[in-house]
Structure 1
Amino acid sequence: MIQKFFDLQGASLRVSAIQPVLVDFYGRIFAGRSRPLPTAPLAYGLTITSGEPLAMPEGTEALYTGPVLDEGEASFWQGPEGRILAFPGIISLTLSDRAREATIIVAPGAEERITMTCGQLALQAALLAARQFLIHAAGLTLPDGRVALIFGRSGAGKTTSTLALAAGGLGLCSDDAMACNVSGERPTAWGMPRNLKVHRRTAEMLPWVQPLLSGDWSAEDERPVTLAALRTTVSVESITAREIAAIFVLERSGAVASRCEPVSKAEVLALAAADNVRSTRIGVPESERELFKRLGDLVRALPTYRLSAGSDPTDLAPVLLAALGIRKIVA
């Protein structure tokens, strides 16, 4: 059995598998930064095996059945040992009710799916065990070392805005996934940097991105850009917990110029919850209620703003910095 440990900034996640490649696939979530031994107390364990994924038994009342964005049909139910999410014939995840453990079973040839919903849910469980939580948001560091969190509805242009802000002098933590901690004196966050998918419209709006793209345009009109390529042009931050300065809700504006203004915490919490908290047919699971509570603690503790992106994204950085009273980038 192969074991590797991943740093959760104050806690460790153990990932075990018979085949090293299975651990390596999960390690992509952490940009491959694993260790042979834990560097912090163990918070959670994940075992990944190759084989026939679990299937929901006949007569079982499902907590959820239906599509999962970009991954197809899934079933979610309560089993005798814990909650189970399964994509039939592809992959299943069991979250134990009795221990801080999870198990993924992936069908041969479907290893890429380890990094998607099942792997993300296992990571969320590990972070909750470590008194942290994962959110769907971008994170960028400010000149003073703090981090700005950016929530945005699907289609709001989060990747475009994240790249524009990074080009404007902010540091890129992540364009999609941030781990937060509200248990200390001040909320902190750290990002999970990974390769980005850039839409053709983004490449047209930000010409400096075009030479960094690799591969061909996908059916979704996207091409990848690697972290290594981005590092030649912008600052890609290390995986380090940083104090959070503020939360921004991103939206598209019909105006040419971008603008930033205070927004109510209730609006921010509603958006964050809609994008991060899952419900089932019988209500909201306990773990999701805990996530909602922590989201509420996060929003209450921080200034909140609406960041309206204009048609020229190059002005986003100075507009965001001005809202925080930071007038220029410090070298």
Structure 2
Amino acid sequence: MIQKFFDLQGASLRVSAISPVLVDCYGRIFAGRSRPLPTAPLAYGLTIISGEPLSMPEGTDPLYEGPILDEGEACFWQGPEGRTLVFPGVISLTLSDKAREATITVAPGAEERIVMTCGQLALQAALIAAKQFLVHAAGLTLPDGRVALIFGKSGAGKTTSTLALAAGGLGLCSDDAMACNVSGDRPTAWGMPRSLKVHRRTAEMLPWVQPLLSGDWSVEDERPVTLSALRTTVSVESIAAREIAAVFVLERSGVTASRCAPTSKAEVLALAAADNLRSTRTGVSEDERELFKRLGELVRAVPTYRLAAGSNPTDLASVMLAALNIQKITA
């Protein structure tokens, strides 16, 4: 059995598999940054197996049964040993109720699915064990080294705004996934940088992005841009925990100029919860209630703003910095 360890910024996640390919697939979540030995106390263990995914036992009442965006039909149920999520014939995940352990079973040829919902849920469980939590949000570092978190509904333009802010001099932590910690005196967050999917409209609004794109346009009218390509133009940050300066909710302004102003914490919490919490047929699980609690602690602890992106987002960085009373980007 091969073991690699991934740094959770103060804790370690152990990933075990019979094949290095399976571990490396999961390692993409961390941009491949693994270690042969843990550098911090072990918080969680994940075992990845190649084989026939689990199937829901007959007579079981599922917590959820239906489609999951971009991945197809799934079923989720509570078993005697823990909760299990299955995409029939493709991949399954079991989260132990008694130990800080999870198991992914993936069908041969479906290894790319390891980093999707099953892998993300395993990571969320590991982070919760490490007193942290994963949120669907962008993160950018400010000139003073702190990080700004940006939540936004689907279609609000989070990737476009993230790239515009990075081009304006802020550091890119992630456009999609940030791990937060509210257990200390000051909330912190660190990002999981990965290739971005850039829509054709984004490339038109930010012409500097176009030469960095790779591959062909997908059926969703998107092309990827790798971190190595982005580093030639903007600052891509290292994986490190940074103090959270503020939380923003992003929306489209409908006018040319962008705007940023303080907004209510209740509004920010409602949007963050809607985008990050899942419910089942039996209600909200204990893990999801804990996540909501931590989201609330985060929102209470830092200033909250509404960031309205204009049709020309190149002014976003200056608008955000002005709202935070940061006058200029230092060298």
Q: Same fold (TM over 0.5)?
A: yes
The alignment status of 1:111 with 2:137, answered yes or no, reads: no
Structure 1 runs not aligned, ≥5 long? none
Q: Which amino acid aligns with 2:203?
A: A
Structure 1 residue 133, shift from structure 2 partner: 0.2
Measured in 2, the distance between the counterparts of 1:273 and 1:254 equals 25
Distance 1:254 1:286 in 2: 39
2:296 & 2:284 partners in 1: Cα distance? 16
Cα distance in 1 for residues equivalent to 2:178 and 2:293: 17
- Asked if 1:258 is matched to 2:261, the reply is no
Match of 2:157 in 1: 157
- SS of the aligned residue for 1:308 comes to strand
Q: Shift in Å at residue 162 of structure 1?
A: 0.1
Distance (whole Å) between structure 2 residues aligned to residue 56 and residue 130 of structure 1: 30
Whole-Å separation in 1 of the counterparts to 2:116 and 2:27 = 12
Aligned to 1:142: 142
What SS does the aligned partner of 1:134 have?
Answer: strand
**Alignment-derived partner of residue 183 in structure 2:** 183
**Residue aligning to 1:95:** 95
C-alpha deviations, 1:178-229, integer Å up to 9, x for none? 0000000000000000000000000000000000000000000000000000
> What is the CA deviation profile of residues 239-295 of structure 1, one whole-angstrom value per residue up to 9, with x for unaligned ones?
000000000000001111000011110010000001111111001111111000000
Residue of structure 1 equivalent to 2:46: 46
Q: CA deviation at 1:3?
A: 0.1
Offset of residue 58 of structure 1:
1.5
Please, which runs of 5 or more residues in structure 2 have no aligned partner? none
Partner of 2:14: 14
Q: Deviations over 1:120-165 (max 9, x none)?
A: 0000000000000000000000000000000000000000000000
Deviation at 1:57, TM superposition (A): 1.2
- Give, in angstroms, the shift of residue 302 of structure 1: 0.7
Alignment correspondent of 2:78: 78
Residue 174, structure 1, aligned to residue 174, structure 2: yes
Amino acid at match of 2:310: G
Distance 1:304 1:235 in 2: 25
Corresponding residue number in structure 1 for 2:133: 133
Q: Paired residue for 2:223?
A: 223
Q: Whole-Å Cα distance in 2 between the matches of residues 55 and 321 of structure 1?
A: 51
Quote the Cα distance in structure 2 between the aligned partners of 1:204 and 1:167.
15
Q: 1:276 maps to what in 2?
A: 276
Paired with 2:288 and 2:76, the residues of 1 have a C-alpha distance of 14
Q: How far apart in 2 are the matches of 1:237 and 1:227?
A: 10
Q: Distance in 1 between matches of 2:298 and 2:277?
A: 14
Output the amino acid matched with 1:209: V
SS in 1 for 2:214: coil
The answer for the alignment partner of 2:4 in structure 1 is: 4
Cα shift at 1:327: 1.2
Query: Aligned partners of 1:202 and 1:52: how far apart in 2?
Result: 40
Query: Aligned residue for 2:26?
Result: 26
SS in 1 for 2:159: helix
Superposed structure 1 runs of 4+ greater than 4 Å apart = none
In the alignment, which residue of structure 1 is the partner of 2:239? 239
**Secondary structure of the equivalent of 2:314?**
helix
Q: How far, CA to CA, are the matches of 2:126 and 2:220 in structure 1?
A: 32
Cα distance in 2 for residues equivalent to 1:67 and 1:319: 39
1:286-324 per-residue CA deviation (whole Å, 9 max, x = no partner) reads 111100000000000010000000000000000000000
Supply the AA of the counterpart residue of 1:173. Answer: C
Query: Cα deviation per residue 1:88-145 (whole Å; 9 max; x = unaligned)?
Result: 0000000000100000000000000000000000000000000000000000000000
- The DSSP-based 3-state class of the residue aligned with 1:62 is coil
Q: Match for residue 310 of structure 1?
A: 310
What one-letter code is carried by the residue in structure 2 that aligns with 1:44? Y
Provide the C-alpha distance between the structure 2 equivalents of 1:14 and 1:254, rounded to a whole number of angstroms.
46
> Residues of 2 paired with 1:203 and 1:72: CA distance?
29
SS at match of 1:102: strand
Q: Which whole-Å CA distance do the structure 2 matches of 1:254 and 1:128 have between them?
A: 38
State the SS of the aligned residue for 2:150.
strand
* 1:161 counterpart letter in structure 2: S
Q: Residue in 1 aligned with 2:293?
A: 293
TM superposition shift of 1:59 = 1.1
Distance 1:290 1:110 in 2: 32
TM-score by length of 2: 1.00
Secondary structure in 1 matching 2:63? strand
